[in-house]
A and B are shown apart, each in its own frame.
Chain A
Amino acid sequence: MDVLVDLLHPTILVPWMLAMLFGIFAGATPGLTATMATALIVPISYYMPPVAGLAMIIGATFTAIFAGDIPATFLRIPGTPASSAAILDGFELNRQGKGGFALTLDLLCSSIGGLIGVTVLILVAPPLARVALRFSSAEYFWLGLFGLSMSAVVSKGNTFRGIIAAALGLLVSTVGMDVTTGHPRFTFGQIELLSGVGFIPAMIGLFGLSEVLKLASDRSSLNAPSITETAKISLLGALPTVWKYKLTVLRSAIIGTVTGSLPGAGADIAAWMSYGIAKKVSRNPEKFGTGSEEGVIAPTSANNAGLAGAWIPALVFGIPGDAVTAIVVGAMLMYGLRPGPLIFEQSREIVDSIFVIAVVTQFLLIGAGLIGIKAFSRILRLPRNAVMVIVLMFSVVGSFALQNSFFDVYIMIAFGVIGFYLEKNDVPLPPLILGLILGPMVERNLRVGLVRTGGDFLPFLTRPISAVLAAALFVTLFGGPIWSFLRRRLLGR
């Protein structure tokens, strides 16, 4: 209770709220990411006392992860990679004139998902981290493939084309220096490609530029506004839907927390896995991808919960769960904190403050999120051609800003053309970006695992957790067709 009272002091509360608004802005702007928002907050927070600084960092990261869903819903451009799953149904609801409802639902579920994730973090951090330690190369390999298969199966269009998209992403991820030998692959002599194809400019191109190209080819609606009215936001209006799908919220949040607790997995995989599972167990799976409320609830509950889950290995072992928590671990070291098993004994007060900050942030997220949704929807009442130009300019500068490099802008343009072509041919884009993100993890763990086993693939199938993940992958990809085949045979008899 004392901790809570201290946190509500203006010297902590004011910078905390400002950081959350900054997180909303950064997360909602294509080209700025939750990782960037966190990285930019850290130097400012350095001048604050540790508790205020940690409040700013935690506040900015959770709001940035939610805010990535705002352009995903309104413009089909994920503000952060973790928001790419939110496009599937959020954008469809927006096209039906329910963008405000979709985002209000998103906001509530992000808040509830984050609360559940933080609760799990508080209660089960040590035992969960022990399970995560048992994951070796084989498990991470199958986990990466499982996440990709989910995105391929649940995306629009047929599954095979989703797999093609995922494989394209995996191929693009091989560009750069080989992790084991340091040999350049597919760089064609370009120094900029030695570190690989940046997934942020690729993502901006795939979703931002390709959407602009698609809209530009439709002459009739150029002067019409992108949305016809400022988003109607009603928390009370969205609550019954949240209650109706309370099991989906709970399940997705737990999936998100567990997935987020696996180092390197992150909120991206959490969102997709949660969406895929929700679709599989739903009574109305055919509605997913057409504006299903469950399709909005599942990934949005999971990605904020995933962020909380990423704190588990970060606090307990000092191993960050994702890029955002990697920066946070660095900030904690800056404050003289030592993440690891002893942090609970040596810095108990700070750890308690972190827990309380994380809980309170989920409630403050609602206020900050409402401001962000309203502000963004006002901008979108401009004519469509104006919005397209704004998106394009932010995409160009956002791509440039990452490394002050025009090469990233060219990457963005190339992927914009690729995305435009692929969508014309009914190949979904989200698996491609996920393949790009997960490709290094999948390849590295496959090769490291095979080196350990002397080239023998059998241990990839016989380790217990690996076997479960491999079976889940098989069921995801082939379960549907096999079941249909068996049903036809049985009914035929």
Chain B
Amino acid sequence: MSNKDSGNNNTVQERSYGLSLPVLLTALGVWALYLSAQLPDFVQRGRQLPGPRYFPTILGVFFCIAGVVELVRYIRYRRQARANGEVSARSSLTRLKSLARDWGAQSVAVILGLLAVLMPLVQFVGFIIGGVLFSTALMLRLKARWYNAIILSVVVVVVITVVFGRLFRVPLPAGVFGIRL
């Protein structure tokens, strides 16, 4: 894993041994067990046999155990880091604020935001217009010159429309304007 990432000052070790992973794993395990308990039994000729809940239950138990293991590793890492004087003095709130200001983290949020908007946009205006708008916005965010962004966006959308729309006959949305190639 590279040390050079989104520019926040966490070290590789800190990220590898964060608290979020054990918490999420344990939560996932508990959630899987809870949902599995609601699945029906499988009884055949009066004998209980492995049914729909069997495999997810095994996995739920595994994730609970994995969460505990990762928590133990995290605690061990923190103790060792404290003993070596390596633990960052920043509080979690400070780290979150730093992350929110970080350009890289903002770019990730922008990409996900644009993707969330893309689907309704494409359904409304069609793939050609929606795709060009999406690609252009994304390229501008990623520091491309505005004319490069527009040219490339148009080329990419046309190529995709020809390949998928014409060659593979995938019905790409035409939107309210009914624009197709």
Question: Which residues of B sit under 8 angstroms from A255, Cβ to Cβ?
Answer: none
A214 to B2, CA, bound (A): 11
Q: Which of the candidate stretches A46-54, A72-80, A311-319, A396-404 sits at the interface with the other chain?
A: A396-404
Taken together as a complex, chains A and B put the C-alpha atoms of A185 and B60 apart, in Å, by 14
User: Complex formed: what's the CA distance from A212 to B119 in Å?
Assistant: 19
From B18, B35, B42, B47, give the contact of A180 (CB < 8 A). B42
Shortest beta-carbon distance, A42 to chain B, in Å?
14
Query: Complex Cα distance A178/B55, Å?
Result: 11
Q: Given A401-B168, A450-B49, answer yes or no on A425-B6 (Cβ-Cβ < 8 Å).
A: no
Q: Indicate whether A219 sits within 8 Å of B52 (C-beta atoms), given known contacts A160-B69, A171-B59, A389-B152.
A: no
Q: For residue A222, which residues in chain B have a CB less than 8 angstroms away from its CB? A: 142-144
* Minimum Cβ distance to chain A for residue B112 (Å): 7
Instruction: Decide if A180 touches B52 in the complex (CB within 8 Å).
Output: yes
Say yes or no: A185-B52 contact (C-beta < 8 A), given A217-B105, A401-B170: yes
Name the A residues within 8 Å of B91 (CB-CB).
none
The residue from B20, B42, B47, B119 contacting A409, defined by CB atoms under 8 A apart: B119
In the complex, chain A residues whose CB is within 8 Å of the CB of B160: 393-394, 397
Instruction: Give B62 Cβ to nearest chain A Cβ, in Å.
Output: 5
CA distance A218 to B108 in the complex (A): 10
Partner of B104, one of A217, A390, A393, A447: A217
Name the CB-closest residue of A to B161. A397
B107 at the A interface (CB under 8 A): yes
Let me know if A235 is at the binding interface, CB within 8 A: no
0/1 interface trace, chain A 174-196, chain B, CB 8 Å (1 if under)? 10001011010110000000000
Do A167 and B63 touch across chains, with their CB atoms under 8 A apart?
Answer: yes
Name the residue in A164, A212, A455 with the highest tally of chain B Cβ atoms < 10 Å from its Cβ: A164
CA distance A447 to B50 in the complex (A): 6
Query: For the complex, is B94 an interface residue (Cβ under 8 Å from A)?
Result: no
- B110's nearest neighbour on chain A, judged by CB, is A216
Stretch from A246-254, A273-281, A380-388 that touches the partner? A380-388
Given contacts A180-B51, A216-B107, contact A386 B66 (CB under 8 A): no
A451 located at the interface, meaning its Cβ lies under 8 Å from any Cβ of chain B in the complex? yes
Contact B50 A451 (CB under 8 A): yes
Are B49 and A390 in contact, CB atoms less than 8 angstroms apart? no
Q: How far, in angstroms, from A218 to B7 measured CA to CA in the complex?
A: 8
* Residues on B with beta carbons closer than 8 Å to the beta carbon of A185: 39, 52, 56
B16 contacts the other chain (CB 8 A) = yes
Contact between chains at B138 and A389 (CB < 8 Å): yes
In this assembly, does A446 line the interface, its C-beta being within 8 Å of a C-beta of chain B?
A: yes
| Partner-binding segment picked from A102-110, A299-307, A416-424, A464-472 | A416-424
Give the contacting residue for B144; candidates A178, A212, A386, A413; CB below 8 A. Answer: A386
The residue on A at minimum CB distance from B157 is A393
Closest residue to B55 on the A side, CB-wise?
A443
Please report the C-alpha to C-alpha distance between residue A385 and residue B112 in the assembled complex, in whole angstroms.
16
Whether A40 sits at the interface, judged by CB under 8 Å, is: yes
Residues of B within 8 A of A446 (CB): 50, 55
Query: Smallest CB–CB gap between A155 and chain B, Å?
Result: 13
Q: Which DSSP category, helix, strand, loop or mixed, fits chain A's interface?
A: helix
C-alpha spacing A163/B25, complex, angstroms: 13
A-B contact count (CB 8 A): 156
The answer to whether residues A396 and B171 also contact, given A216-B104, A386-B139 and a CB cut-off of 8 A, is no
| CB neighbours of A163 from chain B (8 A) | 66
Asked if A485 is an interface residue, CB under 8 A from chain B, the answer is no
Cβ–Cβ contact B40 & A426, under 8 A: no
Whether A324 sits at the interface, judged by CB under 8 Å, is: no
Is the pair B170, A400 in contact by a Cβ cutoff of 8 Å?
yes
Q: How far is the CB of B130 from chain A (nearest CB, A)?
A: 10
**Chain A residue contacts of B47, Cβ below 8 A:** 454-455
Give CA–CA (A38, B1) in the complex, Å: 37
Q: Which residues of B contact A186 (CB under 8 A)?
A: 35, 56
Would B52 and A183 count as touching, CB distance under 8 A? yes
Q: Is B156 an interface residue (CB 8 A)?
A: yes
Among residues of B, the one whose C-beta sits closest to the C-beta of A22 is B167
Q: B123-154 toward A: CB 8 Å interface, digit per residue (1/0)?
A: 10001000100110011001110001000110
A227 at the A/B interface (Cβ < 8 Å)? no
Separation in Å of the A196 CB from the closest CB of chain B? 13
Q: How far is the CA of A333 from the CA of B114 in the complex (A)?
A: 47
B residues within 8 A CB of A382? 152
Q: Does B115 contact A (CB under 8 A)?
A: yes
Q: Which among A183, A223, A424 is the interface contact of B15 at CB below 8 angstroms? A: A424
Residue of A nearest to B20 (CB): A425
When distances are taken between beta carbons in the complex, the residues of chain B under 8 Å from A455 are: 47-50
Judge whether B144 and A171 touch: CB under 8 Å.
no
User: Complex Cα distance A169/B53, Å?
Assistant: 17
Chain B residues whose C-beta falls within 8 Å of the C-beta of A60 in the assembled complex: none
| Chain A window 406-448, contacts with chain B (Cβ cutoff 8 Å), 1 for yes, 0 for no | 1001100100010010011111000000000000000100110
A218 to B107, CA, bound (A): 9
> What would be 8 A-B contacts, judged by CB atoms less than 8 Å apart?
A164-B66, A170-B59, A178-B51, A185-B39, A386-B152, A392-B111, A393-B134, A425-B21
Complex A-B, nearest 5 residue pairs according to Cβ-Cβ distance, in ascending order:
A217-B104, A385-B142, A217-B6, A178-B52, A426-B16
Beyond contacts A219-B7, A454-B47: 17 other A-B pairs, Cβ-Cβ < 8 A, are A174-B55, A178-B39, A216-B111, A217-B104, A218-B6, A389-B138, A389-B139, A389-B153, A392-B115, A392-B138, A397-B164, A397-B170, A413-B115, A425-B21, A447-B54, A451-B44, A455-B48
